Amino acid sequence: MNLEFALKLRLHSETFSKKEIKEIKEESLKLKAIIEPDYRITVTENQVKLGIGLISREYWSPTLQMFLDQYPDKRTHVKVTIGPDPILWFLYKSLFYIVGILFIVFTAITISKLFFEQSFKLDIIMLFILTNTWLLLYFIAKFIRRKGMAQMKELEHFMNQILE
């Protein structure tokens, strides 16, 4: 997975493993016993989550989620999502959508004021501010991802260790 140059803030990939889900879960639990204080591994029915432990956790620390699907030929289809902590991701997406909705509202107001030949200078300024806020949110998220890049690579290493 090319972590450094992707435009997406939350990266997705898919792969196949020769192991069955049961073997992947067992391997995850073995690795969990070894790396537990520094990293956390959560194993559920068809999902394995890898994260940074409380000792070295920062607000930019990523999580890696593997969604497992068994095929009849005993291979396992693995969907991988790596990105910010789910709570931080929810906060970011909420702000992103709020700014987008406000942009649509102010665009509608500006167009209606233009149609009725009223002054719309304040609305244009607001659209400019919202556009810059949207861009600022995106670049802050890119900065956070860059800060967590080393931890992302560590989690990816553990994922490869589990799947191989």
Q: What is the pLDDT of residues 9-50, one digit of tens each?
A: 788 899 999 999 999 999 999 999 998 888 999 999 899 999
CATH match of 11-84+149-163 with 3.40.50.300:
no
Angle between helices 149-163 and 121-147 (to 10 degrees): 50
Q: What is the pLDDT of residues 116-158, one digit of tens each?
A: 999 999 999 999 999 999 999 999 988 988 888 999 999 999 9
Q: Which two tokens stand for residue 153?
A: 């690579």
Strand order in the sheet with 62-70: 11-17, 76-84, 62-70, 47-52, 39-43
Say what the pTM is. Answer: 0.80
Boundaries of every domain in the chain: 11-84+149-163, 89-142
